[in-house]
């Protein structure tokens, strides 16, 4: 068993980590947000990165999670795992990680590879309490995690230029489009993330620091991982894999008469 698998087991087994009440979950977020650290990440030095995602059935009957490790230089898949699990927390915007992390951690525990960085489909600091899923995972493991989301939850930002690579800062505040978020940042507003155009003429993604990375390095990495699709490849692979796995699990259950 890998070192990570052992740590993951302890994290999953500790009931302190998994409140069943949303109010307690919010209190946990406020407590643990203080543990998030920002560290410089040299995107060029990252060899492998694990993309993480979860797939649900609409009626909560089945759930699957996947972790796909990709070589940053070649974008080749190094290793991939998919697992099935049960729903243990409702979907509540802002408390997303209490629903997604148990299955994600279970998948990470099955990985033989030890990736340099993890990439979540969601936010880190760009969260009302600065504790989105990427920060939550990062603090639990004390490892580098980047958040890359497909829509906004929280934060004010302006629209970046149309070209791939264009970006604007996201600053603290209720979700809103503003004329010039860079000016707000220059005036001292708290920068919580970055709106990044990964494909020319296509809706941008929203990058934020999870834990032990910096925004510059996180955005650099996400752009490198998105040479042909809007969503960075590790997350895209994980998304496809857990979707397939959930359907296969459901088909297998039906074959056994359930």
Partner DNA sequence: GCGACAG
Partner DNA sequence: ATCTTGTCGC
Q: Does 194 bind DNA (CB under 7 A)?
A: no
Return the DSSP state at 126.
S
For DNA, the binding residues in 174-193 under the rule CB under 7 A are: 174-175
Shortest distance in whole angstroms from residue 82 CB to DNA: 12
In terms of CB distance, is 133 or 225 closer to DNA?
Answer: 133
Phi, psi angles (nearest 5°) of residue 187: -85, 5
- Measured distance CA(228)–CA(198) in Å, rounded: 8
How many residues contact DNA, by CB under 7 A? 29
51 and 70 Cβ atoms separated by less than 8 Å: yes
For DNA, the binding residues in 33-92 under the rule CB under 7 A are: 53-58, 91
The reply, when asked if residue 21 is annotated as ligand binding, is no
Shortest distance in whole angstroms from residue 105 CB to DNA: 15
Q: Of residues 21, 45, 151, 257, which one binds DNA by CB under 7 A?
A: 151
The two beta strands, 167-171 and 48-56, are unpaired
In terms of CB distance, is 186 or 252 closer to DNA?
Answer: 252
Q: Of residues 95, 145, 170, 192, which one binds DNA by CB under 7 A?
A: 95
Q: Does 226 bind DNA (CB under 7 A)?
A: no
Say how far residue 198 (Cα) sits from the centre of its chain: 17
Q: Does 123 bind DNA (CB under 7 A)?
A: yes
Q: Does 158 bind DNA (CB under 7 A)?
A: no
- Measured distance CA(256)–CA(170) in Å, rounded: 49
**Sheet with 191-196: strands ordered across:** 77-85, 63-71, 48-56, 117-120, 145-149, 205-211, 191-196, 167-171, 156-157, 176-177
Tell me the two tokens of residue 243. Answer: 């979707």
Q: Does 167 bind DNA (CB under 7 A)?
A: no
In terms of CB distance, is 109 or 147 closer to DNA?
Answer: 147
Helix (H, G, I), strand (E, B) or coil at 189: coil
Q: Of residues 12, 33, 75, 153, which one binds DNA by CB under 7 A?
A: 153
The reply, when asked if residue 84 is annotated as ligand binding, is no
- Measured distance CA(191)–CA(97) in Å, rounded: 22
- Summarize the annotated binding site for Mg(2+) as residue ranges: 53, 121
The binding site for DNA (CB under 7 A) comprises: 53-58, 91, 93-97, 121-123, 127, 132-134, 147, 149-153, 174-175, 243, 246
């Amino acid at each position: 068993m890998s070192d990570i698998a052992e740590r993951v087991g302890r994290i999953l087994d500790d009931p302190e980590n998994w409140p069943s009440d949303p109010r307690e979950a919010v209190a946990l977020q406020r407590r643990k947000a203080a543990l998030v650290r920002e560290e410089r990440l040299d995107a060029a030095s990252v060899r492998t990165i694990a993309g993480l995602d979860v797939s649900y059935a609409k009626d909560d009957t089945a759930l699957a999670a996947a972790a796909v490790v990709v070589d940053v230089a070649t974008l080749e898949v190094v290793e991939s795992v998919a697992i099935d699990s049960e729903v243990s927390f409702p979907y509540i915007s802002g408390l997303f990680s209490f629903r997604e992390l148990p299955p994600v951690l279970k998948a990470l525990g099955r990985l033989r590879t030890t990736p340099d960085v993890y990439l979540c489909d969601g936010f880190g600091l760009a969260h009302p309490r600065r504790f989105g899923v990427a920060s939550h995972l990062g603090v639990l493991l004390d490892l580098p995690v980047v958040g890359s989301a497909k829509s906004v939850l929280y934060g004010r930002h302006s629209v970046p230029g149309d070209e791939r690579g264009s970006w604007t800062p996201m600053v603290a505040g209720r979700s809103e489009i503003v004329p010039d978020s860079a000016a707000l940042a220059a005036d001292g507003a708290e920068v919580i993330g970055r709106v990044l155009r990964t494909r020319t003429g296509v809706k941008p993604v929203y990058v934020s620091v999870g834990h032990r990375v910096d925004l510059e390095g996180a955005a650099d990495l996400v752009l490198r991982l998105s040479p042909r699709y809007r969503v960075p490849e590790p997350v895209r692979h994980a998304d496809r894999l857990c979707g397939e796995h959930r359907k296969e699990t459901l088909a297998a259950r039906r074959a056994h008469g359930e």
